[in-house]
Structure 1
Amino acid sequence: MLPRHLLSSITALLALSAMPALAELKYSNDTGGSVKLYGQLSPAYLSFDDGVASYGDLVDNEVSNTRAGLTVTQDYGSSVLQFDFLTALGFGQSSNYGQAGDPKFLDWRRTFVRKLEVSWKTESAGTFTFGQGSMATDGVAQSDLSGTKMAMYNGLDTVAGNYQFRTSAGALSGIEIDHTFTSFDASRRGRIRYDTPSFNNFTFSAAYGKDILSTNSNDIYADAAVRYKNEIAGTKIAASLGFSRRTRNGSDRDDTFGSISALHPSGVNVTLAAGSRKNDGQYGLIKLGYTADLFSVGKTSFAVDYYKGSDFVTNGSSSKSVGAGIVQKFDDARLETYLIVRKYEYTDTTATSYLNASSVLLGTRWKF
């Protein structure tokens, strides 16, 4: 028999898929200005098996969590002034569930604020942004044209991050998924950021800032990135490369990482990502996928991926994961549903051996 929570999750997903599209919540004036309300719901059911026990919870998928925002724009000739406020709503994040306990169902904190920024976009000089928002390397590890990013995001720690591996004796090891699987992707900070206009399909970005939402944090962040988008003989290509530095108490942590994805007109696609943290681990990821128009409601995307990391916990440690997933889009309803199964492995140079773990994530994202 299916778990009660899983049955209710499936019922909710079917109900959402039948919803009609809502009108855009946007007001426009006669001078090129507009005010727009937007957001999304992102519920999911997460099941995790650590080799000894199984767990299941309704969660908010941290890959792209439940959120709401407000955007105000005003045109000034060919330039655009924009204010953006966006916050997650504070539901229990998928990365915060684990054997040691679960987060509160609803617990909004100021760290859930994603954007509180003002930007000035020009045609010739680029875009200048100030406030809480994405650093330059946010998304650099996520160049992905597979159509499965919502389910198979390069950031495995966002789904089951607080779950621990068990030793072969069945004891909790203290080694969590988020200790052993990462993408080095940057986050959002209080920063100043600059993005160039596109030059021959290349865009360059740089940012400098600090964590202004966490208490007692004096960390300084600086990063730079280059992005590329093009279509060659019908094949779409997206790529990005970045470097980020966090300075804490006079000590630097340097990350270099990037990703590339290609989508053939046939629907076949491939995505690669890799990254290295100076003196502290590296990883590589490959994803193979296929997107097809199987149903009139929207595209169906399939993918499998393989992740290999090393030296994240201790020198000589190894983390591996294999995942397979499917995403179905419902265009008129602004909805996508997904299912992914994933296996995790961890080894190190100690005499301790660890049990393999697995997870299943069934969810949906509805945008408004």
Structure 2
Amino acid sequence: MFAASILAIAAAAPLPALAQDQAARIAALEAQVNLLMQEIQSMKVEQTQQAREIRQVAAAPAPQVRASSGAQQVAVAEATGVAPSMQGLLRTPPSPGVAGHPFYGALPDGRETNVMATGNPNVRLTFSGQINRSLNTVDDGLSTDLYQVDNENASSRFRFLGESNALEETQALALFEFEWPVNGSLDVSQLEQSVSDSINRTFNLRLLEVGLSNNRYGSFFIGQGWMASDGTSEMDITGVTTPMWSGQTFAFGGMLPTANGESTDYIPRRTPPNRDDYASEEEYEAALGDFSVASGNFLNVFTLGNNLDGLSRLVRVRYNTPVWNGFQLSGSAGTEERYDVALRYAGQTDWARMAAGASWWTDASDGGFDGISASGSLVLTSDQWWNGIGAAIQYATMSFDDLDNEPTTWMGKLTYTRNFWDIGRTGFAIQYSKYEDFWADGTDFKLYGFGFSQNIDRIGSEAYFGVTQNEFTVPGYDVNDMTLYQAGLMVRF
């Protein structure tokens, strides 16, 4: 009995120490739990603050953006065959025109672009451009030769576009664009198959301007840029523009039509050497030889016909109204007393998308000129087989104060585009153009063409092929027909 009591006392002796250890562990656990609760509470406070900031941003008045209608966005997207996924971002309606200038359009939903570093954190800078190279095989009626050129119906170029929305509804814009057409198709000819380095190594400034664009009041630009009439001969949303364009003669405009039975193979545009002006036959032959190797002394394709696209690009001021029900009015005043006004439209129905433009332009100086340009295009939309059939037409004419001839150009084109493969849109086109009285009264130039293009969207490219048959009439000359076979690749970035 006594032994049992001793054992019971011995067994009970350590219990107070054990209880103390357990209490200490419990206190430590409680401290850890309290610390975790404090961290959780801190996280909740931080999340509440973030949610409050997000709600404040969402509730803040955003710039009142009135995006282009779906039809206008499509018109801008397809104006030069540029796929929407390859365009830059601008949050205002198309500023220089409803169509024709692909980076003046809204970005598709879900598309993001990288931001370049700038010296001003309020400015978004976009760098973009294209390289367009082609192989031209030309049969001029006397020989057939191959030329590698920069296709100047969409020349190689790059641009910097700066945008700022610091003034909320008003967006500030700044634009540089440079062209670098190495062996340009307007320079290469039978006499100069490789253009001199002095030309090839020279940048051509296309655009240098600043502007303000407001959804309510329109947009204003100052600097070298598009005159209001520029693009009004080129309204084309068919999607097949690189191989068959309203200005298709840009693609081989430097080539020289050949003539039979003349002292030279080509048609002089300047007075050739006169035998009576030289003392000897040797001197005359030397002068004639010098004359015969300079391509600028002879008529080229571009001189005999082009699309008369208004006043092109000049140092000017320009104003564009907002887009009203698809219509936009523009006016500009440039250097050398040149002025123009233009009206553009883009819209859609249940069965088609369409775009059109018209302009009047003038050089008011002594010995100047006046002109009008107009063009239009549509693409059928349906779930039937005719979905993707398109057309484009163009007319332009001009008259000179001091010359009798009145150059006139006509163009008509039929197209068919469809996404046969996942790589991008496929397009076919047939075209007819006629150019009258460009060099002098009675000159005539007819162009018949077929074109094919294949977009490869994942690499931002368009492969194309075209054939044009060209017939020339120049009073006093027996001019040969010219055939152009063109294959090229344009990469946009």
TM range (shorter): 0.7 to 0.9
RMSD: 2.0
Q: Give the TM-score taking structure 2 as reference length.
A: 0.65
The alpha carbon displacement at 1:74 in A equals: 0.5
Alpha-carbon deviation of 1:39?
Answer: 1.6
Partner of 2:188: 97
1:117 to 181, 195, 209: 209
1:246-300 CA-partner distances (Å, limit 9, x unpaired): 345x122111111010100111111110111125221211101100111110010
**1:281 touches 1:312 (CA, 8 Å); kept in 2?**
yes
Match of 2:468 in 1: 342
Residue in structure 2 matching 1:246, options 363, 368, 381: 363
Q: Is the 8 A contact 1:25 1:38 kept in 2?
A: no
**Conserved in 2, the CA contact under 8 Å of 1:156 and 1:178?**
no
Q: Give runs of ≥4 in structure 1 deviating > 4 Å.
A: 28-32
- Correspondence 1:172 to 2:289: no
* Displacement after TM superposition at 1:84 (Å): 0.8
Conserved 8 A contact 2:155-2:181: no
* Pair 1:225 & 2:342 matched: yes
- Contact 1:90 1:108 (C-alpha < 8 Å) held by counterparts: no
Structural mapping, 1:298-317, within 5 Å: 298-317=424-443
- Identify the residue that residue 270 of structure 2 maps to in structure 1: none
- Output the amino acid matched with 1:172: Y
**Aligned partners of 1:49 and 1:359 also within 8 Å:** yes
- Structure 2 letter corresponding to 1:205: S
Partner of 1:26: 115
Counterpart of 2:260 in 1: which secondary structure?
Answer: coil
Q: Which string of whole-angstrom CA distances, capped at 9 and with x for unpartnered residues, describes residues 21-53 of structure 1?
A: xx9452389986411121211111122110101
Q: Secondary structure at the match of 1:27?
A: coil
**Contact 1:269–1:289 at 8 Å: present in 2 too?**
yes
Further displaced range: 36-45 or 78-87: 36-45
Aligned to 2:177: 86
The aligned residue for residue 69 of structure 1 is 159
Give the Cα separation in 2 of the matches to 1:93 and 1:87: 14
| Equivalent-residue separation in structure 2 for 1:172 and 1:315 (angstroms) | 19
Q: Which has the higher strand share?
A: 1
How far apart are 1:169 and its partner, in Å?
A: 3.3
Choose which of 273, 276, 292 in structure 1 pairs with 2:397. Answer: 276
Q: Is the 8 A contact 1:26 1:37 kept in 2?
A: no
What CA distance in whole angstroms lies between the structure 2 residues aligned with 1:40 and 1:318? 34
Which of 234, 242, 264 does residue 351 from structure 2 map onto?
234
Q: Distance in 2 between matches of 1:331 and 1:167?
A: 44
| Pairs aligned (count) | 335
Deviations 1:147-169 (A, max 9, x none): 11112121133111121211233
Taking the aligned partners of 1:184 and 1:366, their CA distance within structure 2 comes to 27
The residue that corresponds to 2:249 in the other structure is: 157
Go from structure 1 to structure 2 and tell me whether the alpha carbon gap of 1:159 and 1:317 turns closer, same or farther (over 3 Å shift): same
After superposition, where does 1:21-60 map in structure 2 within 5 Å? Answer: 24-27=113-116, 33-60=123-150
Contact preservation (8 Å) 2:305, 2:436: no
Kindly state the Cα deviation for residue 325 of structure 1 after the two structures are TM-superposed.
Answer: 0.4
Contact 1:304 1:323 (C-alpha < 8 Å) held by counterparts: yes
Structure 1: segments with no counterpart, 5+ residues: 1-22, 211-218
Q: Which residue of 2 aligns with 1:216?
A: none
1:297 aligned to which of 409, 423, 432: 423
Determine the C-alpha separation between the residues in 2 that align with 1:252 and 1:172: 29
Check if 1:331 corresponds to 2:422: no
Q: How does 1:205-216 map to 2 (within 5 A)?
A: 205-210=330-335
Q: Which structure has more helix as a fraction of its residues?
A: 2
The amino acid of 1:45's aligned partner reads L
> What is the CA-CA distance between 1:97 and the residue it aligns to?
0.8
Q: Deviations over 1:42-88 (max 9, x none)?
A: 11112211010122222111112111221111102111001111111
Partner Cα separation in structure 1 for residue 413 and residue 406 of structure 2: 24
Per-residue deviation, residues 121-141 of structure 1 (Å, max 9, x unmatched): 001110100111111111111
| 1:192 aligns to 2:317 (yes or no) | yes
Can you give the 5+ residue segments of structure 2 that lack an aligned partner in the other structure? 1-111, 268-297, 382-386, 400-404
**What is the deviation of 1:223?**
1.2
8 Å Cα contact 1:156/1:181 also seen in 2: no
- Note if contact 1:285-1:305 (Cα within 8 Å) is conserved in structure 2: yes
**Separation (CA, whole Å) in 2 of partners of 1:183 and 1:275:** 7
C-alpha separation in 1, matches of 2:256 and 2:169: 52
Distance (Å, rounded) in 2 between the aligned partners of 1:55 and 1:220 = 43
Contact 2:308 2:373 in 1 (8 A): yes
Q: 2:284 corresponds to which residue?
A: none
CA contact (8 A) 1:42 1:61 kept: yes
Matches within 5 A, 1:354-365: 354-365=479-490
What SS does the corresponding residue of 1:226 show, helix, strand or coil? strand
Which structure carries more relative contact order (alpha carbon 8 Å, separation 6+)?
Answer: 1
The answer to whether the Cα contact below 8 Å between 1:155 and 1:181 also exists between their aligned partners in 2 is: no
Q: Deviation of residue 221 (structure 1)? A: 2.0
Deviates more, 1:354-363 or 1:162-171: 162-171
Secondary structure in structure 2 of the residue aligned to 1:140: coil
Following superposition, the deviation at residue 226 of structure 1 comes to 0.6
Q: Is residue 161–residue 173 contact of structure 2 (8 Å, CA) maintained in 1?
A: yes
Amino acid at match of 1:93: G
- Structure 1-normalised TM-score? 0.86
Q: CA deviation at 1:327?
A: 0.7
